[in-house]
Amino acid sequence: MKIQPNAFHQGAYPAVFAGWQKKWGSAPTDAELQIMHALCSAPGSKHAFACAMMLRDGGAHDFDHIHPATQLIKFVNGVPQVLHNYRDNIVRAGWFTRTSNGKNHSALTLTDKGAAELKRRLGVNNTVDSRAKARSDKHAASMAAARKATRDAAKAKAKATRAKRKASLPAAPVSEPVDVAPVVPVDVTTADTAQVE
């Protein structure tokens, strides 16, 4: 599954979206991930992604959806992680309500209190987004500058190598003009008769 262009929040999970399977349902949207990054946990965390999956229409099942998807973020061997801590914290805070349509299934719904908190967190300078995006942009700019410096250094080295090779080649020998004796025409008929006699 491809990450949408300019989807900053989905961009924090490239391995998950690259390995997304249809049986897990629809992938969390950038808006759902933004909500969880603002209210639940930092971008790139398993907890934020798991809660965003629970925020989808129909929610998510712990072992059929959430566990295999979050294993793509960081593989943990052994007993499957259920990632309930942060989910329980945001429900206790009153920002979300949790419904379940079966064992190990959760669906989250944003409450009015949660919407107000989200608006507050995103409204004031858009702090969560702006800080993370600024770090991301700064990192991208430094990586681009490093790649350009590497390319420029390689070009300069290649140019210096070519100049050194050119200087080390022996100069082509210059030949001096040679004086050639003038050619005297010979009468062929006279030469033939002289041999016969």
User: Is there a domain that residue 184 lies in?
Assistant: no
> pTM for the complete prediction?
0.60
In a domain, 178, yes or no: no
Per the domain annotation, does 76 fall within a domain?
yes
How many distinct structural domains can be found in the chain? Answer: 1
Compute the distance between CA of residue 143 and CA of residue 125 in angstroms, rounded to an integer: 26
Q: What are the E-state strand segments in the chain? A: 60-61, 96-99, 105-110
In angstroms, the Cα distances linking 132 to 31, 38, 43, 110, 121 are: 16, 11, 8, 23, 14
Each residue's pLDDT tens digit, 138-186: 877 888 899 999 999 999 999 999 998 888 887 777 677 667 777 777 6
Task: Please state, in angstroms and as integers, the Cα–Cα distance from residue 49 to each residue in 19, 154, 187, 197, following that order.
Answer: 14, 41, 107, 117
Across the strands, what pairs with 110? 96
Give domain status of residue 38, yes or no: yes
What span, in angstroms and rounded, lies between the C-alpha atoms of 77 and 11? 25
Asked if residue 104 belongs to a domain, the reply is: yes
Domain assignment of residue 181, yes or no = no
Q: Does residue 66 form part of some domain?
A: yes
Q: Which residues pair with 61 in a beta bridge?
A: 105
Residue 190 in domain: no
Give the pLDDT confidence of 75-128 residue by residue, as tens digits. 777 667 777 888 889 999 999 999 988 788 889 999 999 999 988 888 764 555
Measured CA to CA, the distance from residue 149 to residue 26 in angstroms comes to 42
Domain residue limits at 76: 10-137
